[in-house]
Amino acid sequence: MSLEENSDEGVSHVVPQQIVQEVLRHADANLRASLDRFFQFLRIPSISCDASYSSQCHKAASWISDELSSIGFAASVRPTTGNPIVVAHNKETDGPHVLFYGHYDVQPVEPLEAWNSNPFEPSLKEQPDGETHIVARGASDDKGQLLTFIEACRSWRAVTGHIPIKVSMFFEGEEESGSPSMEAFLDEAGEELNADVMLLCDTYLWRDAVPAITVMFRGILEQEVEIICANRDLHSGAYGNAARNPIQVLAELIASLRGAKGEITIDGFYDDIQDLNKQIRNDISRLDFDTDAFLRDAGLSKSAGDTSYSVLEQIWTRPSCEINGIAGGYYGDGLKTVIPSTARAKISFRLVAGQDPERIQSKFRDHIRARTPADCKVKFTGFGGSPASLISSRSEYLGCARAALKLEWACEPVLIGSGGSIPIVSLVKRRLGLDSLPIGFARSDNRHHSPNEKYDLSSFHKGIRSWIRILAELSRCTIVQPPSFAGDNTGADDHVDR
């Protein structure tokens, strides 16, 4: 069957609902075959942070490329300085052009003894509530999620011979180890990846049966600060009181970062924050979020953040400053009575729209320098950063995606935020000028990065069906001129103040 063309100027082909239903029926009838392919993919131990698995990462990239080629994509495996990136295009249809992103690499499996089955031999586990879990490393993060999109494209090709819009894809193999090759890859291939919007599927449902589109991600800035006092460790009896203790100095500096209400006290820290638009703020306020249950699940009872905001606002819409680790002195068995010469802390900031990582880095370092006492040196090490991402609620693509999800899930999808960061979202925005639509089908209990990671069979099935509908709805969007390619870079640095 062919797609039906809409005659309105500036609009791509619009797909009749009869054809959409045929594509959905094909996906349903071929779910077993989709699941077999999923299991093949999961059996490849594509662990990116361990160089001994490099060949397996290449194998996973080749597997994806071959699958995409089999359904009519022009697919290739592109070398990088690390693991390869898969790029694929299918531009035979007029209309909007989407770029789909995912990652084929996975986390290590340790502790292996905590797994109930072989992490790279996927298994189906039926649950008392009637659900079926697909258990394997990478099942949810991100192999199952990205495969829902590929399988949706497969069903479109099988039924109609086409995909209703232009589709490009790229899949990396280093997301779980910081994407060290991504910026150089975008420098080289950025023009090729220009599209109207980027889709990705590395996010969550709001509830088990309520879909969500994540419209905001906090950015991140990672820093290490080291305080250096004496030129060696000192005897605490011989030098006690006379010598500066870098652990105490560091503790006082850390304490100075937060105020009594939990607010961050760095001068000018909040100056550039952009206000949320009213629709997103209203959508957040209407969400059924159980604050007490959220805290209780972590063994807590009270929020430690700025009490001027709700907990949901704190983790989605407000910046944070957290101490991730402290080291210094002797912390082995027994007691060693020394005044250490150095102490250091790793500190991360989650940033919101309007905050520039480089400016926040400068303000943080100025704050520390101004409070570092005499006889102390401070050394800063930066590990890079990325700004927050905020998707416009007025996006035509967002409206089409919401309509498609409502059809599939029989309820209104919600717009949510994420306290975490997906750096590719801000990176692609900076480099390619592309906004993103993050639509995921993972559940909150999928145990990403943990033993016994799982993806619900219903998430896999509904994910395929959802993307089938989204591709159809996106065909209604007005065609947008591709943005021009632009470069940017935020890297790590190393700096010592004396």
pLDDT in tens, the chain (498 residues): 334 444 344 444 678 999 999 999 999 999 999 999 999 999 999 999 999 999 999 999 999 999 999 999 999 999 999 999 999 999 988 889 999 999 999 999 999 999 999 999 999 999 999 999 999 999 999 999 999 999 999 999 999 999 999 999 999 999 999 899 999 999 999 889 999 999 999 999 999 999 999 999 999 999 999 999 999 999 999 999 999 999 999 999 999 999 998 999 999 999 999 887 777 778 888 898 999 999 998 899 999 998 888 899 999 999 999 999 999 999 899 999 999 999 999 999 999 999 999 999 999 999 999 999 999 999 999 988 889 988 877 789 999 999 999 999 999 999 999 998 888 998 999 899 999 999 999 998 999 999 999 999 999 999 999 999 999 999 988 755 444 434 343 444 444 443
Other residues' Cβ atoms within 10 Å of the Cβ of residue 24: 19
Bridge partners (DSSP) of residue 480 are none
Task: Answer yes or no: are the C-beta atoms of 329 and 340 closer than 8 Å.
Answer: yes
Closest CA to 215 of 429, 353, 474, 390: 390
DSSP class per residue in 177-193 = GT-TTHHHHHHHHTGGG
Third-level CATH fold of 219-273+319-387: Alpha-Beta Plaits (3.30.70)
Cα distances from 196 to residues 88, 277, 433, 436, in angstroms, run 16, 23, 9, 9
296 vs 313: CA distance, rounded Å: 18
Dihedral sign for Cα 460, 461, 466, 468, please: positive
In sequence order, what E strands does 115-184 have? 123-126, 132-135, 166-172
Closest CA to 362 of 487, 490, 486, 465: 490
Closest CA to 228 of 329, 379, 373, 331: 379
Residue type present at position 420: G
Bridge partners (DSSP) of residue 346 are 224, 325
150 vs 87: CA distance, rounded Å: 13
Q: Where in the chain is the domain with CATH 3.40.630.10?
A: 17-216+391-474
Q: How far is CA 307 from the centre of its chain?
A: 27
| SS3 (DSSP) at 378 | strand
Q: Where in the chain is the domain with CATH 3.30.70.360?
A: 219-273+319-387
Task: Answer yes or no: are the C-beta atoms of 395 and 434 closer than 8 Å.
Answer: no
Task: Answer yes or no: are the C-beta atoms of 3 and 164 closer than 8 Å.
Answer: yes
- Does an H or E element contain 237, and which? helix 236-239
The pLDDT value recorded for residue 443 is 95
Bridge partners (DSSP) of residue 222 are 348
| SS3 (DSSP) at 255 | helix
Burial (CB < 10 A; 0-12, 13-18, 19+), residue 470, is: buried
H-helix segments, 291-421: 291-297, 311-317, 357-371, 396-409
Enter the tokens of residue 400. 């089409």
Q: What predicted TM-score, i.e. pTM, was given to this entire model?
A: 0.84
Task: Answer yes or no: are the C-beta atoms of 221 and 385 closer than 8 Å.
Answer: yes
Enter the tokens of residue 421. 């960061």
CA-based angle 409:140:475, to the nearest 5? 45
Task: Answer yes or no: are the C-beta atoms of 15 and 159 closer than 8 Å.
Answer: no
Dihedral sign for Cα 184, 90, 43, 104, please: positive
Other residues' Cβ atoms within 10 Å of the Cβ of residue 404: 25
Residues 102-122 as b/e (b if ≥16 CB within 10 A, e otherwise) read bbbbbbbbeeeeebeeebbeb
- To which CATH superfamily is domain 17-216+391-474 assigned? Zn peptidases (3.40.630.10)
**Who contacts 215 (Cβ-Cβ below 8 Å, separation ≥6)?**
280, 390, 391, 393, 398, 415, 416, 417
The pLDDT value recorded for residue 479 is 56
H-helix segments, 256-344: 278-286, 291-297, 311-317
